[in-house]
Amino acid sequence: MSDYVLRIIAKDAGVRALFCTTKDLVQEAATRHETKPTATAALGRGLTGAALLGALLKVRQRIALKFEGDGPLRKMLVESDAYGKVRGYVAESQINLPMQVGSSDPYDVGRALGAGRLTVVKDLKLRDLYESIVPLATGQIDEDLEMYLTQSEQIPTAVQVGTRLDQHGEVLTAGGLLIQNIAGYAQTAIHQLAERVLDLPPLVDKLADGYTLEDVAAELFDGLQIEYEILEKRPLVFSCGCSRERSFKALTSLGMEDIHAMIEEGQAIVDCHFCHERYLFSVDDLNNILALMRNP
């Protein structure tokens, strides 16, 4: 498999860990939305973060992350589920800030997103959705997710996500890691691992050099002599649930006046924000919708 998430547990140390590579799904999203480099880097980090948090969910559960800032990127919405299906978009796909050579944030994603808030919505298949809103700490995505998990969910966590592009703006590599303390265990190991993550080169740089996720995990844990077990290797894909049928159903929820206006215009166009798929409905299609409205 090309993109996948590696699920790990270190029982004695009391930590769980996720490592993922997301190059192909990030490139597909970037291609669909025709993003410029800064927007691509931001979207890549967001999609990777969503993939990691989605891997923490149980069967049939979903999570959505909405980043809203005062920077030129304005907004980014990414979603994932427990099955490794990820999708997302940025409000301003053509943002391309000057490269910050030598910086830890060469694509200047933090400034592109700016200050604002992060809204986390989870569908846990309960009666109500879980929603939490926290300030954007830095706009760096991983630092914001780390702060959310540590402070809002009260789970000591280390998060790292990244995207590297080539000179043409294509995705060279993308991926990330998430390490969490298991409830009831001492926090010694999570702090040691978080410090080692900062000491080692970023995961995306390792992937660019030919390392596998298994190699990165071994370097991280073996360096601290922490025994661990690989529980699962699960594929990740860019996947959107939109369809012509769903778009048709959405049109039927409009009023007759709206449908008549579309008929006068000669067609209806439904664009999916998440995957940029476009669905066209002819006058005949719209007349069929009117007929359904009159005879439900």
CA distances from 200 to 56, 153, 164, 218, 256 (A): 24, 27, 17, 12, 60
Q: Is 92 exposed, middle or buried (0-12, 13-18, 19+ CB in 10 A)?
A: middle
The answer to whether the beta carbons of residues 77 and 88 sit under 8 Å apart is yes
pLDDT of 103 reads: 83
CA distance 85 to 246: 18
The answer to whether the beta carbons of residues 179 and 203 sit under 8 Å apart is no
The answer to whether the beta carbons of residues 228 and 221 sit under 8 Å apart is yes
SS3 17: strand
pLDDT of 101 reads: 83
Q: 276's torsion region: left (phi>0), alpha (psi -120 to 50) or beta?
A: left
- Token pair listed for 161: 């996500």
Helix, strand and coil in the chain, % to nearest 5: 35, 30, 35
The answer to whether the beta carbons of residues 203 and 216 sit under 8 Å apart is yes
CA distance 211 to 130: 37
pLDDT of 1 reads: 62
Tens-binned pLDDT, residue by residue, of the chain (296 aa)? 699 999 999 999 999 999 999 999 999 999 999 999 999 999 999 999 999 999 999 999 999 999 999 999 999 999 999 999 999 999 999 999 999 888 888 999 999 999 999 999 999 988 889 999 999 989 999 999 999 999 889 999 999 999 999 999 999 999 999 999 999 999 999 999 999 999 999 999 999 999 999 999 999 999 999 999 999 999 999 999 999 999 999 999 998 999 999 999 999 999 999 999 999 999 999 999 999 988 87
Residue 154: CA atoms inside 13 Å, Cβ hemisphere, count? 2
Strand order in the sheet with 75-81: 130-135, 116-123, 62-69, 75-81, 85-90, 237-238
DSSP E strand boundaries for 70-156: 75-81, 85-90, 116-123, 130-135
pLDDT of 87 reads: 97
User: What Rg value do the Cα atoms of the chain yield, rounded?
Assistant: 21
The answer to whether the beta carbons of residues 15 and 192 sit under 8 Å apart is no
pLDDT of 104 reads: 83
